[in-house]
Amino acid sequence: MQPLVDTWGREIKSVRVSVTDKCNFRCRYCMPAEGLEWLGRDEILSFEELTRVVRVLAAMGVSEIRLTGGEPLVRRDLPVLGRMLAETPGVEDLALTTNGVLLDRLAEPLVAAGLRRLNVSLDSLSHVRFAEITRRDALDRVLAGLAEAERYPELRPIKVNCVAVRGFTETEVPALAELARRKPYVVRFIEFMPLDADQAWREDEVLTGAEIRALIEERWPLVEVPAKASSTARRFRFADGAGEIGFVNPVSEPFCSSCDRIRLTADGQLRTCLFSRKEWDLKTVLRSGASDEELATFVRFAISHKELKHRINEPGFVRASRSMSQIGG
């Protein structure tokens, strides 16, 4: 089948599949303390529906699947879905983004199902600061989850993602950099984006990758290493050899020109950009008895409308139609 190429010539290779909008954390930069309404059971795509969408996408060359949410590990029987997706023809890479709190129980069945790459979100190694940002006292469980994941050599790389918020993250940087030196984890700092449900984001709260790099280099010089063209991160190793650090700089150094991603929300809406204002209702097409060919045609039409870029830095920027936990980060 023809590959999926948008009107700007970008080939779509990767899909982020949100399996639930529910989350057991309430990170300040993502969710409100309370009050976000969950989707109803029937609104969420079933494992069969998700696998069918992935099969249609994979036939068009979308070979990288990343499970996300909400918190994907709260979706019941996630390893069953993992296996269904890993066994889908054309799927070459199954990855997961998680807060890690249920990983100590789920790492083993997920690896057995075919999970090969893991991102764990972790914003602080201090119990007090962790609870402050996530509104949950769960640091030890996240670290236990990471330790469990580390036991499976098939599961590499293990990345630790920290959202960098000015006024919070500066003090956390040394311990997180030290984690990258001491553990087989690639620690990555991600710039705070205007996707928080509270709509409190301000540009001056974005702690840039360059600023964090300078903080780290006060103590440990870094050397840039080449990244894949489609990579969202700039990669660095410590000059003295131990460990890797990454910077995902969507605000200060947008990487839209090499974007090869689309997203599927838990309620079956296709999004062609994290910042889309428009969603494509794949669920309705799926549930109306469409053939695989009809699904593929619908997807191609949506991709032909993929945005050139997000416009965070431009005057008149309008926020996405939903917040991060509802989209699937």
Applying CB under 6 A, among 133, 163, 259, 320 the residue interacting with ligand SAM is: 163
Applying CB under 6 A, among 6, 21, 64, 71 the residue interacting with ligand SAM is: 71
What is d(CA 182, CA 37) in angstroms, rounded to the nearest whole number? 40
Contact of 111 with 79, CB cutoff 8 Å: no
Q: Is 121 in the site for ligand SAM (CB under 6 A)?
A: yes
Residues 232-291 that bind ligand SAM (CB under 6 A): none
Distance of CA 80 to the CA centre of its chain: 20
Q: Is 68 in the site for ligand SAM (CB under 6 A)?
A: yes
Contact of 177 with 187, CB cutoff 8 Å: yes
DSSP E strands in the chain: the ranges are 14-18, 64-68, 93-98, 117-121, 158-164, 185-191, 222-225, 233-238, 244-248, 261-264, 269-271, 280-281
Amino acid of residue 121: S
Q: Which stretch binds ligand SAM (CB under 6 A): 66-74, 207-215, 239-247, 270-278?
A: 66-74
- Which residue number places its CB atom closest to ligand SAM? 329
Q: Is 298 in the site for ligand SAM (CB under 6 A)?
A: no
Q: Is 99 in the site for ligand SAM (CB under 6 A)?
A: yes
Q: Which alpha helices (H) appear in the chain, and where do they start and end?
A: 47-59, 78-86, 103-113, 127-134, 139-150, 173-182, 209-217, 282-287, 292-303, 324-327
Q: Which stretch binds ligand SAM (CB under 6 A): 47-55, 91-99, 238-246, 264-272?
A: 91-99
| Shortest Cβ 74–ligand SAM spacing (Å) | 9
Nearer to ligand SAM, 11 or 104 (CB): 104
| Shortest Cβ 329–ligand SAM spacing (Å) | 3
Nearer to ligand SAM, 4 or 138 (CB): 138
Q: Is 325 in the site for ligand SAM (CB under 6 A)?
A: yes
What is d(CA 222, CA 233) in angstroms, rounded to the nearest whole number? 15
Q: Is 209 in the site for ligand SAM (CB under 6 A)?
A: no
| Shortest Cβ 12–ligand SAM spacing (Å) | 20
Q: Which residue has the tokens 């075919």?
A: 114
Instruction: Kindly tell me the sign of the dihedral angle through the C-alpha atoms of 311, 204, 234, 264.
Output: negative
Applying CB under 6 A, among 4, 62, 65, 69 the residue interacting with ligand SAM is: 69
Contact of 245 with 216, CB cutoff 8 Å: yes
Applying CB under 6 A, among 30, 160, 264, 299 the residue interacting with ligand SAM is: 30
Q: Is 195 in the site for ligand SAM (CB under 6 A)?
A: yes
Name the site residues for ligand SAM (rule: CB under 6 A): 23, 29-30, 68-69, 71, 97-99, 121, 161, 163, 190, 192-193, 195-196, 324-325, 329
